[in-house]
Amino acid sequence: MARLLVVVPSDTDPPTRLGEWLSDAGLELDERRLSTGEPLPADLTGHDGLLVLGGPQSSLDSAEVSPELVGVRHLLGQALAADVPTLAICLGAQLLAQVGGGSTRVGADGPEVGATLVAKRDAADADPVFGPLPLSPDVLEWHHDEIDRLPPGSTLLASNPAYPNQAYRVGQHVYGLQFHIETDEPLVRQWAEGDPVGVASSGLDLETVCARAAAVHPDLAEIWAPFAGRFAALVRARAGARAAGG
């Protein structure tokens, strides 16, 4: 079975529904929760893909502030170098941008929080993972930093008016999503209760943020579960190629 290394930088952002979709698509998930001290592997040997989730840490944190992110950056660098199928979400996407030669900063227009839409760019139509998505898919945003410069040579796949770098691909198989697709209702409520600054930036109260997220969660599943299946197909293909080569 194809093995996916799942890096969970914080228990506040577990794989949740995304983990279920990837398992349903035939992947074996090797989950490493950094907040409980679970070690990361030194490299991606023995894994056919990589998933890096989000967390309250900042991509701008030094090694002294967030030492757990040092190993995450190392693995993302390996994935980029070998074009290993990778899905990096929110904090993960920001770290990926940095490792690939782009940059991040504190969001110029403040936090982006809550249910919203992104718009596919023309380049997404030819992408095997993004191509079948609707033109303006529902997403869940929850970030204070932004990706202000994509890695050189990357392909922008989705944008919105708030922050343009919403989804991108580096190489052929490495993807970054600034937004979230993995959430469920309890997770959004946990984030809202723990981030009054982010909620206030939305111009809505906590209950409205949670209610609007709850309203789009069925659409998120309808749109993004098949997306997860298409990403899983890349991981399975790499596993097959490795088996044939070995």
47 given a catalytic annotation: no
As a whole number of angstroms, the longest Cα–Cα distance in the chain is 56
210 given a catalytic annotation: no
In the set 143, 146, 180, 210, the catalytic residue is: 180
What are the tokens at 11? 């228990």
User: For the residues of 119-130, what is the DSSP string, one character each?
Assistant: EE-GGGGG-TTT
Residue 186: partners with Cβ closer than 8 Å, 6 or more residues away: none
Of 125, 91, 131, which is closest to residue 233 (Cα–Cα)? Answer: 131
Distance, CA of 202 to CA of 206 (rounded, Å):
9
Residue carrying the six token digits 């390996």: 78
Task: List alpha helices for the chain, DSSP H.
Answer: 16-24, 68-82, 91-99, 185-194, 196-201, 206-245
Over the range 178-195, which residues count as b (16 or more CB within 10 Å of their CB) and which as e? bbbbbbbeebbbebbeeb
In the set 112, 141, 146, 182, the catalytic residue is: 182
In the set 90, 141, 143, 210, the catalytic residue is: 90
90 given a catalytic annotation: yes
Catalytic residue numbers read 90, 180, 182
